[in-house]
Amino acid sequence: MFELIFILVFVATLLVTGITMLSVFLATGFAFAIMLLLGMVGAVIKLIPWLIVIAIGIWFFKNYVHGHR
């Protein structure tokens, strides 16, 4: 949600300052790409504890539950 608010405020600021529409579209696309990338990085950082728990669970299952055949 923060990313969307940032992009809307960014576009409004560009429009108020009197920059050409082409520049506004290019800057908006660039800002959207950066915010999308940073949002995905933030989601991965939030998921790291769960990924570690899943990896430990798989390791435990392979080594102790599912005996060697």
**Residue 7 has what pLDDT?**
85
- State residue 67's pLDDT score: 67
Is residue 50 a contact partner of residue 32, using CB atoms and an 8 Å limit? no
Burial 3-38 (b: 16+ CB within 10 A, else e): eeeebeebbeebeeeeeeeeebeebeeebbeebeee
Residue ranges for the chain with pLDDT beneath 50: none
